[in-house]
Structure 1
Amino acid sequence: MRYFSKMLAATAALTATPALAQENLEIIGRPKDGLMGFQPAATELARDLHWLDNMVLIVITAISLFVVALLVYAILRFNRRANPTPAKFTHHSPIEVAWTIIPIVILVFIGAFSLPVLFKQQEIPEGDINIKVTGYQWYWGYEYTDHEFGFESFLIGEGKVLNDEVVAELEAAGYSRDEFLLATDTAVVVPVNKVVVMHLTGADVIHSWTIPAFGVKQDAVPGRLSQLWFKAEQEGTYFGQCSELCGKDHAYMPITVKVVSQDVYDAWLQGAIEEYAGTPQGYNVAAAE
């Protein structure tokens, strides 16, 4: 079944007109050698996370500098040479009250900003697009439940070695050798500025679906259906990776999402329904019923 799905996906990628329409998308969400920090934020959720991370970094930097300053002061002020006769008191009530209350205030301050960010992620809105995601060892399955079709997504380069054959497969799918171990033979395609709700589960062990540029990550647990949502604001190709250790090929379980215009999505959807659901283009299902 797996090899049949891979062959079907490869054929669709090379022959379907909607797939050609997705070419020349800017690759935005991918790791880059030698860089640190977040990928560019493509959703409101990701921007919230970036802002929260920067805010908490400022808070913990201030705390760290304050503690270092106290240590330096204590070393210089209370060493044996500067203070040969140490004090013998056992407690200092104002200081003890301060170092209890001030950390509580800091934690409440951080919580006041972090909890709304968390709630925004966990309060799932009504989706314009609904996709069921199933994690397998070691690939992903996607089902567009609104249109009753689905496909499986595999790493391009099953041998996990970059050679001429794999480079040819990458180029045939619209990628370059730089996307090796990131690109998949079939991608999730969604329209820009639409709410996408992903319903996640696992078929065997726990997996985790994530796109860093979207600011989303959710475990796919066998026997449980969990959800995440995003609304991508910029067209482009985005990459993710299974983020829960799931076996020997955990590192070779990438995720590819293409965000396209509504017109391109509609064209892709029509071709995908024909390809994966077996419904010919132009066939009026409602009329047939």
Structure 2
Amino acid sequence: MKKFAASLALLALSLCATGAFAAQPEPWQVRFQSAGTAIMDEVAWFEAYTLWFITPITLLVMGLLAWCIFRFRASANPTPSRTSHNTVIEVLWTVGPVIVLLFLAIPSFQLLTNQYTPPEEPALTIKATGVQWYWDYEYQDEENPLSFTSLMLQEDDRAAAGKEDTSEYPRLLAVDNEVVVPVDTTVRVLVTASDVIHAFAMPSYGIKTDAIPGRINETWFKAEREGIYYGQCSELCGKDHAYMPIAIRAVSQDQFQTWYAAAQDDLEGANRALMAELESDDGEKVASAAE
């Protein structure tokens, strides 16, 4: 029994080490991607909450339509009613929707307020600029600024980049340079574009902001779990709109500081060192479980 439990633990950690914490679309997925922020948890809760209203209302309307079609068909009701007013019905279909809307509006406004109100002053600011068809990123640090371009990873470049594991670096979503952020840190994102309208969307973080030329929109997130998260440009921006992914890698504070310092001089080398450290950490977890 102990061996069986150990095998299960080993399998679970092995999955974690091979990209189980990569938040991305899954085959036959009907719900949201796994949440990486508290805001996304609220979004998922609100979606489930609204279903408690949408489902019975839909069934009620369908039932009333079916009943009216059957009860008042011409063969069963050759002489149609001339009723033009019913006070009870008028009150019900006025008061009922108002009550339902109040139950939806209050949590909706609370969620909207939270989405636009960071819990604290952002410790890190990143500017994301949409370009046909890639993203430019700038870490807004006066003393040690960092900027780079993030392009969709081509299949022929996987081996050279060390990103052959498609479970962690999926086709059409993986990029050559991920945005790296520390967990448990409020990050401000300034979103704009250099040519046409794009949109910066990260489903697992619950953010989606238009990137408009000549204008800067602001959003924020606070990653709660380490891992790599994927999004895409969500505004039709031209022929390669579908090939403009967004990738954010959340790591520990120490790992972020090490990566950021190294990236000042060698971004590619810093990325490789970070990936190697993460793979080593996952390997140690799997080995510990096996013991």
Shift of 1:78: 3.4
The match for 1:239 is 230
Aligned to 1:44, which of 38, 42, 48? 38
Query: 1:206 and 1:105 mapped to 2: Cα distance?
Result: 38
Coordinate RMSD, CA, aligned:
2.0
Q: Is the Cα–Cα contact under 8 Å of residues 18 and 165 in structure 2 kept in the other structure?
A: no
Shift of 1:126: 1.6
Q: Is the Cα–Cα contact under 8 Å of residues 26 and 235 in structure 1 kept in the other structure?
A: no
Query: 1:255 and 1:246 mapped to 2: Cα distance?
Result: 15
- Establish whether residue 103 from structure 1 lines up as the match of residue 123 from structure 2: no
- Establish whether residue 141 from structure 1 lines up as the match of residue 136 from structure 2: yes
Aligned to 1:213, which of 164, 188, 204? 204
Q: Is the Cα–Cα contact under 8 Å of residues 192 and 234 in structure 1 kept in the other structure?
A: yes
The match for 1:4 is none
TM-score (norm 1): 0.79
Q: SS at the partner of 1:52?
A: helix
Letter in 2 for 1:198: V
Deviations along 1:55-113, one digit per CA (max 9) or x if unpaired, are 11221111011112222333444345654554322211221222122212212221111
Query: 1:56 and 1:139 mapped to 2: Cα distance?
Result: 36
The match for 1:197 is 188
User: Which deviates more from structure 2 when the two are superposed, residues 238-247 or residues 74-83?
Assistant: 74-83
Letter in 1 for 2:35: A
Query: 1:202 and 1:103 mapped to 2: Cα distance?
Result: 41
The match for 1:87 is 81
The match for 2:11 is none
Q: SS at the partner of 1:274?
A: coil
Deviations along 1:207-238, one digit per CA (max 9) or x if unpaired, are 11111111111111111111111111110011
The match for 1:248 is 239
TM-score (norm 2): 0.79
The match for 1:281 is none
| Change in CA separation of 1:129 and 1:25 when aligned onto 2, cut-off 3 Å | farther
Query: 2:69 and 2:135 mapped to 1: Cα distance?
Result: 57
Q: SS at the partner of 2:264?
A: helix
Report matched runs for 1:5-84 at 5 Å.
26-80=20-74, 82-83=76-77
Q: Is the Cα–Cα contact under 8 Å of residues 180 and 256 in structure 2 kept in the other structure?
A: yes
Give the aligned length.
Answer: 246
Aligned to 1:174, which of 163, 170, 178? 163
The match for 1:132 is 127
Q: Is the Cα–Cα contact under 8 Å of residues 173 and 185 in structure 1 kept in the other structure?
A: no
Segments of 5+ residues of structure 1 without an aligned counterpart are 1-22, 277-289
Query: 2:124 and 2:68 mapped to 1: Cα distance?
Result: 60
Query: 2:146 and 2:158 mapped to 1: Cα distance?
Result: 29
